[in-house]
């Protein structure tokens, strides 16, 4: 796509037919590229670390390591891709658990194909990608987590504070790297470091905290 920036997506689903259908769908949009496919959580974790995709489209119900466990493992390993759960389950506990572990969105498999494409694009811009009626749940999920002490912000370097503000505005690592004129790899290091210092697991949690605290 010449110089056009694209969104690379890793598909994680244990059903080959679902993976094939999603791959074909993503291939119809020139703004999206297929980074890879995984059929289970263990394989997904390995590919996420290897490929560093922008978006991980993740099924919840998989044999072995399920979706929630996969999210937890990815965040613990330092994967900072945006993770979108893509599932048949509209169970509130699944939504809550997914977000607590670091998911950035929650999508149902009965959605229209064009809505899935738009959700992926929205996620890449840092926008919320769950049903409107569940947005209040998104905020309340993190209120029950221990929030960082106010002085923890002082643990961040000036560059980390700068990156945090851009993360909160919804920019991807690629966009932040371009804006600050440094490498994407360096941005990933900064994001991982600032999340650890603030005691957070995901970018969306950091964004909500920044918004609520006016940082």
Output the tens digit of pLDDT for each of the chain's 215 residues.
Answer: 334 478 999 999 999 999 999 999 999 999 999 999 999 999 999 999 999 999 999 999 998 999 999 999 998 898 888 899 999 887 778 888 888 888 888 898 988 899 999 999 988 877 768 765 555 666 665 554 555 555 578 889 999 999 998 887 777 777 889 899 999 889 989 988 998 888 887 777 787 777 666 65
Dihedral in degrees, nearest 10, Cα atoms 143, 148, 150, 155 = -150
Same fold, 7-142 and 145-213: no
pTM over cut 0.95: no
Rounded Cα gap, residues 86 and 88, in angstroms: 7
CA dihedral for 160, 84, 122, 90, sign (positive or negative): negative
pLDDT of 131 reads 61
pLDDT of 1 reads 35
The gap from C-alpha 99 to its chain's centroid, in whole angstroms, comes to: 10
Assigned fold of 145-213? Arc Repressor Mutant, subunit A (1.10.10)
What one-character-per-residue DSSP string does 134-168 give?
GHHHHHHHHHSSPPPPGGGGGGS-HHHHHHHHHHH
Beta carbons of 57 and 71 less than 8 angstroms apart? no
| Residue spans per domain, the chain | 7-142, 145-213
Please state which architecture CATH assigns to domain 7-142: 3-Layer(aba) Sandwich (3.40)
pLDDT of 138 reads 60
pLDDT of 128 reads 64
pLDDT of 3 reads 42
What one-character-per-residue DSSP string does 67-113 give?
HHHHHHHHHHTT--SEEEEEES---HHHHHHHHHHT-SEEEETTS-H
And the tokens for 31?
């703004």
């Amino acid at each position: 796509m010449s110089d056009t920036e694209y969104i690379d997506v890793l598909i994680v689903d244990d059903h080959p037919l679902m993976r094939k259908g999603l791959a074909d769908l993503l291939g119809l949009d020139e703004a999206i590229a297929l980074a890879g496919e995984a059929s289970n959580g263990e394989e997904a974790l390995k590919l996420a670390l290897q490929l560093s995709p922008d978006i991980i489209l993740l099924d919840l119900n998989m044999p072995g390591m399920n979706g929630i466990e996969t999210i937890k493992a990815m965040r613990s390993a330092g994967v900072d891709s945006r993770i979108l759960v893509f599932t048949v389950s509209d169970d509130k506990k699944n939504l809550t658990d997914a977000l607590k572990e670091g998911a950035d969105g929650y999508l149902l498999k009965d959605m229209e194909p064009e809505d899935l494409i738009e959700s992926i694009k929205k996620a890449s811009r840092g926008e919320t990608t769950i049903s409107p009626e569940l947005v209040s749940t998104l905020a309340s999920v993190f209120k029950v987590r221990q929030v960082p002490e106010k002085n923890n912000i002082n643990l961040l370097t000036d560059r980390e504070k700068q990156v945090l503000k851009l993360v909160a505005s919804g920019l991807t690592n690629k966009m932040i790297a371009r804006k600050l004129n440094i490498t994407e790899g360096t941005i990933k290091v900064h994001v991982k470091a600032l999340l650890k210092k603030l005691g957070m697991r995901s970018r969306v949690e950091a964004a909500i905290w920044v918004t609520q605290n006016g940082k």
